[in-house]
Structures are given as structure tokens and as C-alpha cells.
């Protein structure tokens, strides 16, 4: 997968840069990785993401199903991109969808929709594909899917090999707000103690892996 200049990451992923992004328009974070703002919430905005494949033809959408983002998705199709899939990282994303999933798929050029099989998705028009079953799209975009407890059903954390590694946390982490300089995230509060414990247990080995990876990358760039 393509690598990225670290300085470009530092300059493009600031809170100020993202805060200036317009609702419903894809904003490039770093090469081939885009963020899009959806509906406004009490603590910010719902966010979705797009990953463009190295072939520059295929697109993967993550949590992009709100009415605020519909025009941008249709524009991708009009521009000749093939949306290879839409991943719903948790059940809350489905609740914010602008229409039934069949319509969402059709508006994205017939893109298949993927979700965790434990998600509470009661949609008679469309049954999402199981993202934890390692479908071809996982390999195509260099993804790793981590199964986490979530609130009220299954939830996933998505890691992509693109740009030296990107992590899409869904509802399993809370990032810093746009109006602060911090660039951190923390675990959210789960509705049940079992889910809270499960999320902590799931994050523990992953954090160790991430710390090891970051140390490795720092050593590589210092050689």
C-alpha cells in the first residue's frame, strides 16, 4: 500500500483544518483518505470516511449513509468511481441512514453494504453482508476488522494498511473535539458493565500493538 509523508499528516489532521470542512463535502485528510461531515450533534458532527484504492478507481465508504452526504456519494458515482462497499461500523450509523438500505445501496451505484452480524438492523429491504467473515473487500483495501462489544450490538474497529496505517474507530473511541489542540482519543462509556469490561479487554492488546508499531516507525525514520 501507498505510504505518506508524516509532515503532511501533521499539517492536514489538525482540529482547525477539519473544523473548516463543509458539511456534506469530502475533505482530503491525506492522499486517498477523505473525511466527510454529516449531521451536527451536541459534541460535534457525525463523520464518515472514504478510502480510494491505489488503482484510483475503487472507493470504500465507512459510515457514509446520512442525507447530508448523499449528494457527495452520488457525485462519486457520476465521476466514474466504483464504490466497492459501504461499511457500517456500528448500529448507531444505521439509525442515522437517510433511507432504507436498499435505497442507500442503489444510490451508491449498487454498492454492497457491510456490517457486524450482531448489529440491530431491522431492514426488510436489504440484509447487510457480514464484514467479520473476511469478504474480498477486506483484502482489496488492506483492512483488518476488530470485533468489539459496542452499545446494543456488534461494533467494529477498522484498520487499513493505506498510508502507513489508518485506524477508523467508529463508536469505540471518542476523539478530541474540534475546538481544542489535543489529538487524543479515549474509550466511550458503555451502557452495560459487561460491554464496558469487554471494550477495555478488547482495546488492551490493540493498544500494545499500536505502541509497538509507532515505535517501529519512529526507528525506521530515524535511520
CB burial string 61-83: b at 16+ within 10 A, e below: bbbbbbebbbebbeebbeeebeb
Total count of residues recorded for the chain: 223
Residue 66: closest CA among 108, 32, 28, 110: 108
Quick check: 119 and 130 in contact, CB under 8 A? no
How sure is the predictor about 162, in pLDDT bands with cuts at 50, 70 and 90?
A: confident
How sure is the predictor about 91, in pLDDT bands with cuts at 50, 70 and 90?
A: confident
Percent of the chain at pLDDT > 70 equals 66
- Stretch 5-34: mean pLDDT: 76
Instruction: Write the CB contacts of 191 (distance below 8 Å, at least 6 apart in sequence).
Output: 151, 152
pLDDT at site 69: 97
pTM for the predicted model, two decimal places: 0.79
pLDDT at site 16: 72
Question: pLDDT, tens digit, for every residue of 179-199?
Answer: 666 666 665 565 656 555 556
Q: What angle do CA 18, 25, 27 make, to 5 degrees?
A: 40
Three-state SS at 4: coil
What is the rounded distance in angstroms from the CA atom of residue 20 to the CA atom of residue 45? 12
E strands, 74-135, are: 82-88, 113-115, 129-130
Question: pLDDT, tens digit, for every residue of 107-158?
Answer: 999 999 999 888 778 889 999 999 999 899 999 999 989 887 665 567 888 8
Q: Specify whether the backbone of 213 is left (phi greater than 0), alpha (psi in -120 to 50) or beta.
A: alpha
How sure is the predictor about 165, in pLDDT bands with cuts at 50, 70 and 90?
A: confident
Q: Is the pLDDT of residue 216 over 50?
A: no
What is the rounded distance in angstroms from the CA atom of residue 178 to the CA atom of residue 152? 27
Phi, psi at 141, each rounded to 5°: -105, 10
- Stretch 69-78: mean pLDDT: 97
Percent of the chain at pLDDT > 90 equals 42
pLDDT at site 214: 42
pLDDT at site 166: 80
Q: Is the pLDDT of residue 213 over 50?
A: no
Phi, psi at 95, each rounded to 5°: -65, -25
Three-state SS at 87: strand
Give the chain's domains with CATH numbers.
6-222 (3.60.15.10)
Amino acid at each position: 500500500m501507498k505510504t505518506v509523508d508524516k509532515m503532511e499528516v501533521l499539517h492536514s489532521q489538525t482540529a482547525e483544518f477539519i473544523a473548516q470542512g463543509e458539511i456534506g463535502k469530502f475533505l482530503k485528510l491525506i492522499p486517498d483518505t477523505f473525511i466527510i461531515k454529516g449531521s451536527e450533534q451536541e459534541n460535534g458532527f457525525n463523520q464518515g470516511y472514504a478510502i480510494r484504492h491505489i488503482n484510483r478507481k475503487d472507493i470504500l465508504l465507512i459510515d457514509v449513509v446520512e442525507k447530508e452526504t448523499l449528494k457527495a456519494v452520488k457525485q462519486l458515482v457520476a465521476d466514474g468511481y466504483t464504490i466497492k462497499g459501504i461499511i457500517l461500523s456500528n448500529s448507531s450509523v444505521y439509525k442515522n441512514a437517510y433511507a432504507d438500505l436498499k435505497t442507500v445501496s442503489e444510490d451508491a451505484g449498487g454498492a454492497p453494504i457491510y456490517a457486524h452480524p450482531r448489529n440491530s438492523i431491522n431492514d426488510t429491504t436489504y440484509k447487510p453482508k457480514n464484514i467479520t467473515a473476511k469478504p474480498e473487500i477486506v483484502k482489496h483495501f488492506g483492512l483488518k476488522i476488530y470485533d468489539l462489544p459496542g452499545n446494543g450490538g456488534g461494533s467494529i474497529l477498522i484498520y487499513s494498511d493505506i498510508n502507513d496505517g489508518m485506524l477508523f474507530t467508529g463508536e469505540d473511541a471518542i476523539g478530541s473535539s474540534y475546538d481544542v489542540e489535543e489529538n487524543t482519543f479515549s474509550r466511550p462509556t458503555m451502557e452495560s458493565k459487561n460491554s464496558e469490561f469487554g471494550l477495555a479487554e478488547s482495546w488492551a492488546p490493540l493498544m500494545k500493538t499500536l505502541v509497538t508499531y509507532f515505535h517501529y516507525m519512529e526507528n525506521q525514520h530515524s535511520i
